């Protein structure tokens, strides 16, 4: 489960897309694999938003151990180069 009260998520860091991502991620952890395309879309959305860098890195750190054993492509986790 995601701890929304942890230091990483203080001060309103989570917005709608991030909250939606974590809801989907919890479903994914519960093996609701039909939601994976939505999770991937959100990962891409978050990775392309510069102000989400810290949050995106936190998400990637949280998810990386699961990437190879399931159907999420590792390419989803590549952080694009900054401007």
The pLDDT value recorded for residue 68 is: 44
The pLDDT value recorded for residue 16 is: 65
Q: Look-up: residue for tokens 């699961």? A: 66
pTM of whole model > 0.85?
no
Instruction: Report the distance separating Cα 17 and Cα 22, nearest Å.
Output: 9
Number of Cβ atoms within 10 Å of the Cβ of 70: 11
The pLDDT value recorded for residue 47 is: 66
Q: Which two tokens stand for residue 34?
A: 């039909």
Mean pLDDT by 10 residues, the chain (83 residues): 48 60 69 64 68 65 56 51 51
The pLDDT value recorded for residue 9 is: 47
């Amino acid at each position: 489960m995601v701890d929304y009260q942890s230091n990483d998520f203080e001060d309103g860091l989570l917005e709608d897309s991030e909250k939606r991502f974590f809801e989907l991620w919890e479903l994914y952890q519960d093996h609701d694999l039909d939601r994976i395309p939505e999770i991937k879309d959100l990962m891409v959305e978050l990775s392309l938003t510069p102000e989400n860098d810290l949050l995106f890195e936190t998400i990637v750190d949280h998810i990386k151990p699961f990437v190879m054993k399931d159907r999420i492509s590792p390419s989803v986790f590549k952080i694009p180069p900054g401007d």
